[in-house]
Amino acid sequence: MRDTQHRSSVASDSPVLPRVAGWLAILLAMAFLVLVPATAFWVIRAGALEDLRAEGLAAAQSRALTLESILDRQRSVVAILADDAVVKAALRREFDEGDAVSAKLERLREETQSSVMYLMEDTGHTIAASNWNMPDSFVGHDYSFRNYFRQALTQATAMEFALGTVSGQPGLYLSHDVRDGDALLGVVVVKMEFDTLEAAWARSPNATHVTEAEGRVIITTDPHLRFTTTPPAVPDSLAITLPVRGTGWTLSMHMPTREADQTAAYAAGAAGLATLLLMALADQARRARLRAARKARADRTHRAELERAVAERTRDLSEEIRERQLAQQRLSQMQADLVQANKLATMGQITAGVAHEINQPLATIRLLAENGQAMLPDGPAGDNLARIARMTDRIGQITDQLRGFARKATGEVGAVPLRSAIDASLMLTTSRRKAGDMPVHLPAIPDSLAVLGERVRVEQILVNLLANAFEAQEGRVDPWIRIGVEEDGDHVALTVSDNGPGLSPQVIAQLFAPFATSKAQGLGLGLVISRDIARDLGGELIAEAPVTGQGATFRLTLRKAA
């Protein structure tokens, strides 16, 4: 019961959940800190833009009304002139006083603040003008090509915004036909220029222009836009458009939104500071709660630590006793392994001594067999003596191999023919191989293929690998061993494979550990020594990964002799 409570306490005190909650709180705080000022910015900006729109609408209406008033006044002037008796009399040529009509038009122009007034016959020929005594007088000019003249003949009135052919100044031309009953006498024209109006509009920061029905700019605070059909958009501005009554024109005014943006930015900054202050106060309160919670948790942890310390000390003492017992067992096992290794070393010395001592009687037997064969060259006895001589040769080869294998390594590295080293190792393990009638499959190995090493030590590795393969297949049906040789650049790889039970994961894990063996009579030193020899010679000995249903495969890599 106490263990269950302890684990529950540890799980609840895990730092993972508080850390996740802390990051989540930080993310929420950052989102809130961004969201509040952004919301304040857009709400205040929308209100400021609405106020700006209302202000701009009033200003645009004022400008439109001013323009409409000017147009209405000039329309009245041109209508009155069209019905003036003096104008009609001049067109009927009842008197030849064109200068008097021109003087009258000049006085009327000053009173109505128009640019110029002039009177044309029905042919378009100008007979009187308010600028009659100026160098650029219209008197005598023919304006029959003008649209405002042609339209006045057919529609009674006309309006055209164009550039003056004589003055070169842009302006609005208002025309009206002059009739005596149904008889057409001529056309009277009033031209207005909007320089004063444009200058007054330009004194405010609100860009304004007036466009015709076709979209052409005719009145503008930017002279470069006049007569263009696609005025560019004004960035960072609020556009307000109103129709100009009775003209088909459109007045467009662009009010800068900079002040609205600044107001919204100030409001967003204030909201951000207020939010930051509230978050700081909330964080202080949170920290106070966390400190209290940490203190309570630390008290619980301290009590739990005391209980764990007692339990751990008890376990440590038990573990120490168990380790001492295991160490004593390992010591005993190592002593037994060393005794066995000493026995094997002694047996090797005895074997080498026997192989040496047997050479003299073996040579005597061979000599006697050859002498007997010389005395009895024919018949069964001669054949038997020849067989005895051959057997003594075979025994001599075996004893030579045993003495060479038992001989101490010199440490000198040279070229070792691989084929002869394999043959010698097979000869040294012949007894084990014949006991199980086990075939060994060899590839074709060139006599010139050699590796860098020491013959005795190379053979020692091969004998260990072959002996392990033989022992792994004892009692199995159709056992075999396959030796493979591959050349890989500056190295030669030799593999020894069998169709035994293979290597289990447990054996693989401690395959090259000293004194670790799965054999009842083994020491666990053969593969360890063999790998050390291979590394000393600049190579490597490894066990390839086991494959289900196949035996073990060891790969020996050595440097190729030049």
Reduced to 3 states (helix: H, G, I; strand: E, B; else coil), residue 115 is coil
**Distance separating alpha carbons of residues 415 and 450, to the nearest angstrom:** 6
Tokens representing residue 18 in the block:
């508080």
Query: Beta-carbon neighbour count of residue 554 at 10 Å?
Result: 23
* Confidence at residue 397, expressed as pLDDT on a 0 to 100 scale: 58
Residue 529 half-sphere exposure toward CB, CA atoms < 13 A: 15
Count of domains in the chain?
2
Q: Which residues pair with 190 in a beta bridge?
A: 117, 174
Class of residue 125 by CB neighbours under 10 A (exposed 0-12, middle 13-18, buried 19+): middle
* Confidence at residue 348, expressed as pLDDT on a 0 to 100 scale: 56
Tens-level pLDDT at each residue, the chain (562 residues): 444 444 444 444 455 666 676 677 677 777 766 777 778 778 877 887 787 788 888 888 888 898 888 888 888 989 989 888 888 888 888 766 667 888 888 888 888 888 899 999 999 999 999 888 888 888 889 999 999 999 999 999 999 998 888 878 898 999 999 998 888 999 999 999 888 888 888 888 888 889 888 888 988 888 888 888 877 777 888 888 899 898 888 998 888 878 777 777 877 778 778 877 887 887 788 888 888 888 888 888 888 888 888 888 888 888 888 888 887 777 666 655 554 555 555 555 566 566 656 766 766 776 677 777 677 767 677 767 777 766 676 666 566 655 555 555 556 788 999 998 998 888 878 766 665 578 889 999 998 999 999 888 888 899 889 988 888 887 777 888 999 999 988 999 999 998 888 888 778 777 777 766 666 555 667 788 888 888 988 999 998 888 777 888 999 999 998 7
Give Rg (Cα) of the chain.
Answer: 60
Of 193, 222, 248, which closes a domain?
193
* Confidence at residue 2, expressed as pLDDT on a 0 to 100 scale: 45
* Confidence at residue 294, expressed as pLDDT on a 0 to 100 scale: 87
**Distance separating alpha carbons of residues 430 and 422, to the nearest angstrom:** 12
Q: Which of 147, 128, 261, 245 is nearest to 188 (CA)?
A: 128
Residue 293 lies in a domain: no
Tokens representing residue 148 in the block:
């405002």
Q: Which residues pair with 256 in a beta bridge?
A: 237
Residue 381 lies in a domain: no
Q: Which of 497, 500, 469, 471 is nearest to 484 (CA)?
A: 497
Residue 528 lies in a domain: yes
**Distance separating alpha carbons of residues 444 and 419, to the nearest angstrom:** 9
Residue 136 lies in a domain: yes
**Distance separating alpha carbons of residues 18 and 234, to the nearest angstrom:** 54
Q: Which of 163, 157, 152, 97 is nearest to 122 (CA)?
A: 152
Residue 13 lies in a domain: no
SS (H, E, C) 386-419: HHHHHHHHHHHHHHHHHHHHHCCCCCCCEEEEHH
Structure-derived torsion over alpha carbons of residues 148, 150, 153, 154, reported in degrees to the nearest 10: -100
Residue 74 lies in a domain: no
Domain range spanning residue 515?
411-559
Structure-derived torsion over alpha carbons of residues 434, 439, 440, 441, reported in degrees to the nearest 10: 160
**Distance separating alpha carbons of residues 382 and 380, to the nearest angstrom:** 5
List, in sequence order, every beta strand (DSSP E) within 230-318: 237-244, 249-256
Reduced to 3 states (helix: H, G, I; strand: E, B; else coil), residue 233 is coil
Residue 491 lies in a domain: yes
Q: Which amino acid is at 480?
A: W
- Looking up tokens 């030669």 gives 492
Of 193, 210, 244, which closes a domain?
193
Of 193, 223, 250, which closes a domain?
193
Residue 144 lies in a domain: yes
Q: Are 559 and 490 in contact (CB under 8 A)?
A: yes
> Which secondary structure element, helix H or strand E, spans residue 184, and what is its range?
strand 183-192
Report CA 168 to chain centroid distance, whole Å. Answer: 64
Backbone angles phi, psi at 186, to 5 degrees: 175, -160
Supply the CATH number for residue 529's domain. 3.30.565.10
Supply the CATH number for residue 172's domain. 3.30.450.20
